[in-house]
């Protein structure tokens, strides 16, 4: 307890001394006014060289910012390749092979689509989407008409 009182008294004394010392600085002295010394006058035309030829034109930034970007981000990596052109492809064939018909004429094939059965020969158009371009023992060739792409349906029979 005694130690705390002594420390508090020392703090109060130091604060009082600092306050008293701050008031002593401006008493009794005249304020010092310093004036800049005048430089001797020279003839302006003869003393200053023409520096307009040394001026470097500064590029004007493209954006509305007058300061511009002092540290633009630059990359030395090559630009990424353009995205690959994705061509549309024909959907998977909705048909299953149902069998072949040999009746003495051109070969005919049975194509099952869901619960419907189509009997097709070369040149036939099925549902306005597929044209039969070939009927063989091992496969049936169909052309998807909107994209003109050929697709084959394997029949599983020996050629």
**Structure confidence at residue 59 as a pLDDT band (50, 70, 90):** low
How many domains does the chain divide into?
1
**Structure confidence at residue 132 as a pLDDT band (50, 70, 90):** very high
The answer to whether residues 100 and 157 touch, using CB atoms and an 8 Å cutoff, is yes
76 Rama sector, left if φ>0, alpha if ψ -120 to 50, beta otherwise: alpha
Is pTM beyond 0.85? Reply is no
The answer to whether residues 75 and 135 touch, using CB atoms and an 8 Å cutoff, is no
Q: What pLDDT sits at residue 90?
A: 93
Rounded to a whole number of angstroms, the CA Rg of the chain reads: 50
- Give the per-residue SS3 of 137-149: CCEEEEEECCCCE
How far apart are the C-alpha atoms of 103 and 109, rounded to whole Å?
Answer: 11
DSSP secondary structure string for all residues of 59-97: PPPSSS-SS--SS-----SPPPPPPPP----PPPP--EE
Q: Is residue 100 assigned to a domain?
A: yes
The arithmetic mean of pLDDT across residues 124-135, rounded, is 94
pLDDT of 38 > 70? The answer is: no
The arithmetic mean of pLDDT across residues 45-53, rounded, is 71
Domain limits for position 112: 96-154
Q: Is residue 126 assigned to a domain?
A: yes
Helix/strand/coil percentages in the chain, nearest 5: 20, 25, 60
How far apart are the C-alpha atoms of 128 and 97, rounded to whole Å?
Answer: 19
The arithmetic mean of pLDDT across residues 67-73, rounded, is 78
Of the chain, the percentage scoring pLDDT greater than 90 comes to: 45
Per-residue pLDDT tens digits for 86-120: 999 999 999 999 899 888 888 999 999 999 999 99
Q: Is residue 118 assigned to a domain?
A: yes
Q: Is residue 101 assigned to a domain?
A: yes
Q: Is residue 105 assigned to a domain?
A: yes
Q: What pLDDT sits at residue 40?
A: 57
């Amino acid at each position: 307890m005694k130690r705390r009182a002594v420390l508090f008294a020392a703090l109060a004394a130091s604060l009082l001394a600092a306050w008293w010392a701050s008031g002593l600085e401006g008493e009794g002295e005249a304020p010092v006014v310093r004036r800049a010394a005048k430089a001797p006058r020279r003839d302006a035309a003869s003393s200053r060289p023409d520096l307009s030829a040394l001026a470097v034109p500064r590029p004007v930034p493209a954006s509305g910012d007058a300061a511009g970007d002092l540290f633009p981000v630059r990359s030395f990596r090559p630009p990424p390749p353009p995205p690959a052109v994705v061509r549309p492809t024909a959907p998977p064939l909705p048909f299953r092979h149902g069998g072949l018909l040999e009746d003495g004429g051109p070969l005919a094939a049975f194509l099952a689509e869901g619960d419907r059965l189509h009997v097709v020969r070369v040149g036939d158009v099925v549902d306005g989407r597929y044209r039969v371009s070939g009927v063989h023992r091992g496969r049936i060739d169909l052309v998807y008409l909107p994209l003109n792409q050929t697709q084959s349906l394997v029949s599983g029979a020996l050629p």
